[in-house]
Amino acid sequence: QQQVKQSPQSLIVQKGGISIINCAYENTAFDYFPWYQQFPGKGPALLIAIRPDVSEKKEGRFTISFNKSAKQFSLHIMDSQPGDSATYFCAASSGSWGKLQFGAGTQVVVTP
């Protein structure tokens, strides 16, 4: 039973467009929400993370929006580039020592 539900499964976006990936969770104890980017044959790399005390966090072209009441959070990739083509995983954990619960992943393809 997946504790974090991620959608869509795959996404094709044109260069310069906005990629949006959504995640939803049920466990209200979750208090840490990271996003990871993974290229084929490589390990996941931490992209950006947010805690429930803020509704939005931006780092460069990547923005996390967080809706605590709806128990949803999303990743927005602005001005998408072909180099952003990768699989993106959302995750959630509770407490400083909790295990990460991963979403199923979203394969993003940015066309030139």
Partner 1 sequence: GAVVSQHPSRVICKSGTSVKIECRSLDFQATTMFWYRQFPKQSLMLMATSNEGSKATYEQGVEKDKFLINHASLTLSTLTVTSAHPEDSSFYICSARGAKRGVVDTQYFGPGTRLTVL
- Contacts with partner 1 by CB under 8 A lie at 32, 34, 36, 41-46, 49, 89, 93, 95-100, 102-105, 107
Residues 29/10, Cβ–Cβ less than 8 Å: no
Task: Output the CA torsion 70→47→103→77 (10° steps).
Answer: 60
For partner 1, the closer CB: 44 or 75: 44
Residue nearer to partner 1 on the CB measure, 2 or 14: 2
Compute the least distance from the CB of residue 110 to partner 1, in Å.
18
Distance, in Å, from the CA atom of 67 to the CA atom of 60, rounded to the nearest integer, reads: 21
| Bond preceding residue 8 cis, omega within 30 of 0 | yes
CB of 95 to partner 1, least distance (A): 8
CB 81 to partner 1: min, Å: 22
Output 6 or 63, the one with its CB closest to partner 1.
Answer: 6
